[in-house]
Amino acid sequence: MRNAVIAATSLMLGAAFVPAHAADNGIYLGAGIGQSGVEFDEAIEGLDFDYDASSTAYKVIAGWRFIDWLSVEANYVDLGSGDDRVLGEKVETDVSGISLSALGFLPVGPVDLFARVGAVNWEADVSAPSLDVRGSEDGTDFTYGAGVQFRVWSLSVRGEYEIFDIDAADTVDMYSVSVTWTFL
């Protein structure tokens, strides 16, 4: 009788930990907020200028972690509206896009180190209101990044640095903190 109670208790305790581990993988949704930066150096008709702006940015996350060390993820990223003075005039940028990436994870207990690689379909609006100049450009380019994630059952909190290798700019990047929830 005593052995049956011990076996039943062990089975119930073991079964209780299976869902916690299985919740690490599956479909997840989340959101993040951070700081973005846009930099470019240009030479137009002999005039050289530098543009360097930062802004509050956010992203919406949807992904599928199908094994412990690999997932695919789609993000809507809004890098915000930044502005800087160029040759004495205020120049504003607004960059957003949709990215699709593969994420490789190195699980270390409840912590994951990860790297991402993928593509971003972006749109950038640039304007100089005082000069009545506006322009828009779009394209698809390479994106990559790295981060660390802490997992507790279905909840994950991550810190990440991403680079959007947009041809029209020297640097477009984002530091962010995100929260995701795994459903299935």
pLDDT per residue as tens, the chain (184 positions): 555 444 444 544 444 444 444 447 999 999 999 999 887 766 444 445 566 678 899 999 999 999 999 999 999 999 987 766 666 777 777 889 999 999 999 999 899 999 999 999 999 887 777 777 778 889 999 999 999 999 998 999 999 999 999 887 788 899 999 999 998 7
pLDDT per residue as tens digits for the range 128-143: 777 777 788 899 999 9
Query: Cβ neighbours of residue 18 under 8 Å, at least 6 residues apart?
Result: none
| pLDDT on residue 171 | 85
What number of other Cβ atoms are within 10 A of residue 62's Cβ? 14
Per DSSP, helices labelled H in 53-150 are: none
Residue 26 and residue 183 in contact, taking contact as beta carbons nearer than 8 Å: yes
AA identity, residue 95: V
5, two tokens: 């109670």
| pLDDT on residue 55 | 87
Query: Cβ neighbours of residue 167 under 8 Å, at least 6 residues apart?
Result: 139, 141
Q: Give the residue extent of every domain in the chain.
A: 25-182
When the candidates are 3.40.440.10, 3.40.50.150, 2.40.160.20, 2.30.110.10, the CATH number that belongs to 25-182 is 2.40.160.20
Q: What's this model's pTM, rounded to 2 decimal places?
A: 0.79
